[in-house]
Structure 1
């Protein structure tokens, strides 16, 4: 009975293959972590994506980088945990739901808090499910049994505990301060959620008359409406122009309020007129001046961006409408001096996409200094965490130094409700800035505390606000592992090994995690912070869901496969922290760069099919290791005799094994140092070039010989060994195709998986740089002969005569030793290797490899005159195209009036045509 020889289908189908292995890995719990298994831990907690729709290609890059690291360390024998989860994203989710309700003609107040939260949880189930589905399609090796959500029971407990502890330690307080207010979301936002944009605006100059009628001062402002809340005008005390005015009073136009002239070193005498209006309730710098000079704070703004009763006749007007009306009134009253065009920076809400309004508000704050000082101590004394690339360390450090107290309360309903209860009046039931409160872990505890502080039968009302999302996210590396309880996961896997993230959230998230982790756990939450670049769209803009320029990774996965998309993204990351621009046509949903990675997958598939068809149905284990894999004979050969001619049947095997172990060492070094893009490129070059294009071609003739020939067996052993080890090397990058090929190649038993095999180790005994250098020369020679054949239009089946001329004894020795390879792969019938040509060969086509000249006589092989005529005809066509394109591009009407993409297309076509002409002229020169 003949054994069935395992084979792969003729065509690789990524879609069925990827789905099969994703099910297999999850059903068999291949990635389930077990702290009791021992070993050295390696842990990553996934940066939790917001449950606001779906992921884009930028998320895919970060997730793929993490998956490579986790798979690599798992195969290296580490006890790995990659923990998945999602973030509740308070502002983002509430913004989406408010828009939905608006479209229905409702507001959240029509629903009430309880019904609104039911709707939010429903949104989380739908959107979170979409995100989890996307993560699964990426083939990520996550431990889904440990999936977390920032508002699940365990993490909510951690948030509650963190808040109460910080409050009891005096690090959380409630205060009336100027905050960044977003009128669109009607919530406070942190400094980190503010984006400063340069805008074209105006600088208005107004006169404020002195109360004693002795004159006036001129002030300049970019926000005229805020003058309604002015409580002073400030000048620099060293400014001789205005020193005599300090202490006098002015009459504020429109409001007719008497306000003082104060001296403050903050004022820049060179800005505007040197006189600055002071509105302490609506500008952070003015707020600080107001504190120094005990100025009153007059808030003129409602939370929706309209003006309140303190704005007089402008009450109820939108802030931008009021701006125009205030200017008009000042002009009518004769106080407007001039208006200047003025470029300036305006703070915008990152979520609400509207200008921020500095607003006086009672909020909850975290005292940052003690937390930041702890994180700085770890950084300065222990270089912890370590940033890759290192340049981000300074950015992180500078940010910790500059941080101000963190406003953590948000006027939202979706999120962790602040655990504070107010002892409200039985009559009004309102919470004011002076209402007494208690902070507690539960309502029962709050009632107990309130009774002891305020007496029995006190009525409690919980603070309606929720915590900033980044507060719970800041606890993520340790709350997900069980903190505040002492869980086995926390004891074994914390601190985590690596944080993989984009540089754009070092401030939002990384610093908050290190500060909170340092305070609560006494350790930094991760050893390394690997900062990767961002994926940019075709216009060089950061991809984001809010900008609408993101690409759904499923579009490309459905077209090219998961492995192809993963490999493209990683291969483009040439260096840590470097942004990449994805080659993508939105109209066609096509990406040439992802298509190239799919072609790479097909190349590997076809090479694996060829290898398996030539193994006589045996596995690598059944064939055994190739003799060279233990260094047989090679290391004992004297250096001066280690030439390519030593043992022709085995030198190609030794060469590929040397190249393979070089790549093993190189790949491991790159991954260990976070050079994942370089590792991907190195594997691509080795697999496509050395293994598929050269080694397989070099051994084909040996595989066709008598099956008993030792040379054939060694070729089979080497092919099988290198292919299996290639699959292991490539598996972290392209897990699905490598798993499929490995199972067929090794005839793996049920339950076995490539994901749990050992990663290849470097055998330095097999690395032979001298042999590799010799093969480089040999391969370059074969490539040059092939190119010359193509230039001369020599048919593939025609064998040619070749002369190789070199004055170097060593080069001739190498070429002579590899003569059979040259003749076989370059279709050479007669090969002459000589120090000097005895006669001139004409007609011939010639090429150069370093100091070697290669010549192919053309007499009797091609019609040289006809070939020259054909090339000349092609050149004439190209030159005519160049002339036409040049005329168009030299025409100002075309360049100035045609669409930009048309002009760019013409320039690109011209550049391509000029390159073609250069190549054709060179071919003519060679045939001369």
Structure 2
């Protein structure tokens, strides 16, 4: 073997061979496949614009582990790959390229723009597919699908028409999430982030009480000088210092004047203004009411009166509704039904007018007077400045709130009333019921709670998008007034009147509508004649639907998983998969989410170049505990690199003692060490299979790591040096363990298997289509024997260490054990570095002694100068005594115990217990040395 393993060279060469031989396809393992055993998993189709990121690496690694495991276990296996057309993202990419040349899509026209988009897709799209291969994943690449290929276009139209005819797809004017760049968005396509903005307090003049409103204004001081009620009735008192209107009340003809620093606390039925707090002053032009809480005593007498909007002088009513939070701002809010989700509901409940104040691009319209033509966000400061100039701004405060952003272009999203297509929420009812009846199982199990919470509050899903790139909505409008949905891409005529003068709806479908059909459309459902020349699709639905399982990140549970559940169930009356494994996020070593702004993004391709695909795969798998975020660090990557070095060196050792090794044949295992390693291997196989079947990927990886490093390399290899005849047997077991490791680390396991076989992959079969190791029962008797052998070796080493002879060879040691270990004496002598081992039944005096769980060992002190050792132990004893006394005093202090945090107390108690244990050990060692002296 070479001195080092060239991962890059091996990975490129092996992957090409695997793919060329068709191993990834459903019949790639036909030699070992068993009838009736089918496994299917769907790749979450990454965006055609995407590149491989660390989240993909985790998802694809876990999917590949399961696919390789099932393929080796005799299943007819389909891992369905593909790409999503990514409507918004792709159109943005192509639009930017055109704009860089000074061309708009409108100048090109729809047909030409779509041609350009397809050209870009064929040339540059799918970069991520090439990157996936670097990770070593094995989907059936020959069956790669694209959400806008001909077959899937047919499936989308079929699904739409089916839902349309059932009344589950409807069109209407609703409030939607609106991006002024990308159009309508569903709720899950809006990202909410903390925003540091402003809260603007605007004065709305109260109308409807002329004997108060038309009074002349004088200062409070001047008002107080008037002697009679007739004079006072002619004037309104104002606080000229604070420029706040003064509360006036008239009770039995008497007028009283009072001032307040905060106008919001002194409103009454005769106040001149109400103060409205808002974060979006540019939308006040669309206000059609002012609202207070009916339980708010400050404003009860105002309900039913009217106010006048500043600048535009529109008259609107003051209404009462419990939607109002009395603690927000002044307790008075503006109602803009056409531009706020909550106000939309209030507007419907109170039969208010809906006034739209900007267009689809966010440009203010004629309702906004002098501000017409300004972009909504750019207009904000100008509107506020004008209001302030006219005296209508009471104050402005800093304010932090949540603002919605488009998940693609990061533009601020507006609530906006628009005529759109919707899938009715009732589509999900049956899917929800079936999931909760056990038709699908979540891993980790708690995700069913999130699924239920979201699905049971599901709103109608807006599926129309104002784009050109995507599946154009298959609804047609005839000049006769007839509307219909059609599976035919280009209907010949109107089914009602026969006219050819009809148009198609210009909008396209939400990207998630087509990807929601992925578990069945990729298997041929609804594809029509598009697959007529691909015979292998004929049995796909029967063999692979429902899919066996789904693996994806929890963050697309509602984007994708839920939509597949109700769309596929609606079409085929069966849930699309049985098991749903949702992994957590990959974060940095400190548990922080990765982001470009934080500078902590890990590029998986860089890590593959630096370490290897195997190392990246095994690292993320080791860290993937169900329900916990994955903290990826350089230290973990180095740890796994050391593991691969350990495997490589173990192979080199084996090949120093033999030219090649046979495949495992248990009947050829005869040595005690061989039987022991075989038993431990069987235990590892049992555990790995059990954990994979339960999707405990990290536990499966840990079992492999412990067996190969701790048991085989650290003990098996070392013990074999005392029995060279066992090495051919260990070589067989190690080769079989490479099959067990293959789904996790496919490249190095393949390489080492062939090295130990004295073959090369180019001229022999790959282990990826060999049978996966079978479960078995370990030999308890041989395992117990070697457990005691290892315990004896470790015990003697510890006894030697107490007298600073840890790595030195000694003439003799004694072992007091409950059973006869004489048949394994050579193992103990070699690894404990003792020329002679004597088994005894009693304590050996004048010896360094070590007591373990099942035996005791003794190393004679004769000839050992213990002076320095005793001095060191005595010093340790004194320090430990002081530490114990200090901790006992602290924990015995009632005042300290009463006031100290529980965590501090727990740390001190643990420290005391540890110090006492160390003290007892030191005393024991000193006692032994003292007896000798």
Distance 1:211-1:763 versus aligned 2 partners, 3 A rule? same
Contact 1:71–1:732 (8 Å) recurs in 2? yes
- 2:657 — aligned with what? 614
- 1:633 — aligned with what? none
- How far the C-alpha of 1:836 sits from its partner, in A, is 5.0
Distance 1:322-1:608 versus aligned 2 partners, 3 A rule? same
Contact 1:794–1:861 (8 Å) recurs in 2? no
Confirm whether residue 408 of structure 1 aligns to residue 453 of structure 2: no
- How far the C-alpha of 1:10 sits from its partner, in A, is 4.2
Contact 1:792–1:867 (8 Å) recurs in 2? no
For residues 870-898 of structure 1, give each alpha carbon's deviation from its aligned partner in whole angstroms, at most 9, with x where no partner exists. Answer: x99xxxxxxxxxxxxxxxxxxxxxxxxxx
- How far the C-alpha of 1:720 sits from its partner, in A, is 3.4
CA distance in 2, matches of 1:130, 1:301: 39
- How far the C-alpha of 1:668 sits from its partner, in A, is 0.8
- 1:418 — aligned with what? 473
CA distance in 2, matches of 1:719, 1:546: 51
- How far the C-alpha of 1:261 sits from its partner, in A, is 2.1
- 2:583 — aligned with what? 532
- 1:727 — aligned with what? 738
Contact 1:557–1:565 (8 Å) recurs in 2? yes
- How far the C-alpha of 1:751 sits from its partner, in A, is 5.3
CA distance in 1, matches of 2:68, 2:867: 57
For residues 754-783 of structure 1, give each alpha carbon's deviation from its aligned partner in whole angstroms, at most 9, with x where no partner exists. Answer: 11221222222x341x65355334324423
Structure 2 unaligned spans of 5+:
210-269, 529-536, 876-913
Confirm whether residue 578 of structure 1 aligns to residue 648 of structure 2: no
Q: 5 Å matches for 1:563-574?
A: 563-573=614-624
- How far the C-alpha of 1:58 sits from its partner, in A, is 1.4
Q: Secondary structure at the match of 1:604?
A: helix
- How far the C-alpha of 1:540 sits from its partner, in A, is 3.2
Q: 5 Å matches for 1:249-268?
A: 249-268=306-325
Confirm whether residue 772 of structure 1 aligns to residue 822 of structure 2: no
- 2:829 — aligned with what? 823
- 2:903 — aligned with what? none
Contact 1:412–1:466 (8 Å) recurs in 2? yes
Contact 1:791–1:923 (8 Å) recurs in 2? no
Q: 5 Å matches for 1:729-744?
A: 729-744=740-755
Distance 1:443-1:854 versus aligned 2 partners, 3 A rule? closer
667, 675, 681: which one aligns with 1:625: 667
Contact 1:90–1:469 (8 Å) recurs in 2? yes
Q: 5 Å matches for 1:726-875?
A: 726-746=737-757, 750=763, 752-764=765-777, 766-768=778-780, 771-786=782-797, 798-804=809-815, 811-813=817-819, 818-834=824-840, 837-841=843-847, 849-850=852-853, 854=857, 856=859, 865=868
CA distance in 2, matches of 1:410, 1:548: 34
Contact 2:586–2:629 (8 Å) recurs in 1? yes
CA distance in 2, matches of 1:115, 1:501: 36
Confirm whether residue 171 of structure 1 aligns to residue 168 of structure 2: yes
For residues 62-88 of structure 1, give each alpha carbon's deviation from its aligned partner in whole angstroms, at most 9, with x where no partner exists. Answer: 111011111111222111111111111
Contact 2:846–2:860 (8 Å) recurs in 1? no
For residues 100-120 of structure 1, give each alpha carbon's deviation from its aligned partner in whole angstroms, at most 9, with x where no partner exists. Answer: 444444433344333433333
Distance 1:627-1:439 versus aligned 2 partners, 3 A rule? closer
Q: Which stretch has the larger CA shift, 482-491 or 289-298?
A: 482-491
For residues 166-225 of structure 1, give each alpha carbon's deviation from its aligned partner in whole angstroms, at most 9, with x where no partner exists. Answer: 222222122122111123x33211100112222333322223222214433332222121
485, 496, 508: which one aligns with 1:439: 485
CA distance in 1, matches of 2:318, 2:784: 82
CA distance in 1, matches of 2:870, 2:125: 64
- How far the C-alpha of 1:330 sits from its partner, in A, is 2.7
- 2:199 — aligned with what? 203
Q: 5 Å matches for 1:614-653?
A: 614-615=657-658, 617=660, 619-620=662-663, 625-627=667-669, 650-653=671-674
Confirm whether residue 377 of structure 1 aligns to residue 433 of structure 2: yes
For residues 807-850 of structure 1, give each alpha carbon's deviation from its aligned partner in whole angstroms, at most 9, with x where no partner exists. Answer: xxxx3436655432221112112335545545334xx6x65534
CA distance in 2, matches of 1:419, 1:365: 14
* TM-score, with length taken from structure 1: 0.81
CA distance in 1, matches of 2:500, 2:520: 39
- 2:254 — aligned with what? none
- 1:515 — aligned with what? 566
Contact 2:65–2:744 (8 Å) recurs in 1? yes
CA distance in 2, matches of 1:193, 1:379: 24
- 1:19 — aligned with what? 12
After superposition, the CA RMSD in angstroms is 3.4
- How far the C-alpha of 1:546 sits from its partner, in A, is 10
- 2:240 — aligned with what? none
Contact 1:206–1:335 (8 Å) recurs in 2? yes
419, 439, 448: which one aligns with 2:493: 448
Distance 1:868-1:415 versus aligned 2 partners, 3 A rule? farther
CA distance in 2, matches of 1:304, 1:476: 33
- 2:885 — aligned with what? none
Distance 1:132-1:456 versus aligned 2 partners, 3 A rule? closer
Q: Secondary structure at the match of 1:701?
A: coil
- 2:397 — aligned with what? 340
CA distance in 2, matches of 1:11, 1:315: 72
- 2:638 — aligned with what? 595
- 2:896 — aligned with what? none
Distance 1:230-1:616 versus aligned 2 partners, 3 A rule? closer
Q: 5 Å matches for 1:869-884?
A: none
Q: Secondary structure at the match of 2:5?
A: coil
For residues 297-337 of structure 1, give each alpha carbon's deviation from its aligned partner in whole angstroms, at most 9, with x where no partner exists. Answer: 11112333332222111222232332223233333333333
- 1:908 — aligned with what? none
Distance 1:848-1:96 versus aligned 2 partners, 3 A rule? farther
131, 136, 146: which one aligns with 2:133: 136
Confirm whether residue 279 of structure 1 aligns to residue 336 of structure 2: yes
- 2:145 — aligned with what? 148
- How far the C-alpha of 1:793 sits from its partner, in A, is 6.6
Work out the number of aligned pairs and report it. Answer: 813
Contact 2:11–2:747 (8 Å) recurs in 1? yes
- 1:186 — aligned with what? 182
Distance 1:93-1:324 versus aligned 2 partners, 3 A rule? same
- 1:118 — aligned with what? 115
- 2:683 — aligned with what? 662
Confirm whether residue 476 of structure 1 aligns to residue 518 of structure 2: yes
CA distance in 2, matches of 1:801, 1:462: 94
Contact 2:161–2:485 (8 Å) recurs in 1? yes
Contact 1:619–1:747 (8 Å) recurs in 2? no
- How far the C-alpha of 1:476 sits from its partner, in A, is 0.6
Q: Which stretch has the larger CA shift, 251-260 or 309-318?
A: 309-318
Q: Secondary structure at the match of 2:703?
A: helix
Q: Which stretch has the larger CA shift, 278-287 or 218-227?
A: 218-227
707, 710, 714: which one aligns with 1:686: 707
Q: Secondary structure at the match of 1:688?
A: helix
Distance 1:546-1:866 versus aligned 2 partners, 3 A rule? closer
Q: Which stretch has the larger CA shift, 400-409 or 267-276?
A: 267-276
Which structure has the greater CA radius of gyration? Answer: 2
CA distance in 2, matches of 1:319, 1:792: 82
CA distance in 1, matches of 2:339, 2:513: 26
* TM-score, with length taken from structure 2: 0.80
CA distance in 1, matches of 2:589, 2:102: 38
Contact 2:803–2:866 (8 Å) recurs in 1? no
CA distance in 2, matches of 1:474, 1:341: 42
CA distance in 1, matches of 2:867, 2:107: 87
Distance 1:509-1:814 versus aligned 2 partners, 3 A rule? farther
For residues 544-577 of structure 1, give each alpha carbon's deviation from its aligned partner in whole angstroms, at most 9, with x where no partner exists. Answer: 789985433221212222111111111111x223
Distance 1:232-1:800 versus aligned 2 partners, 3 A rule? farther
- How far the C-alpha of 1:348 sits from its partner, in A, is 1.9
Q: Which stretch has the larger CA shift, 401-410 or 270-279?
A: 270-279
Distance 1:617-1:345 versus aligned 2 partners, 3 A rule? closer
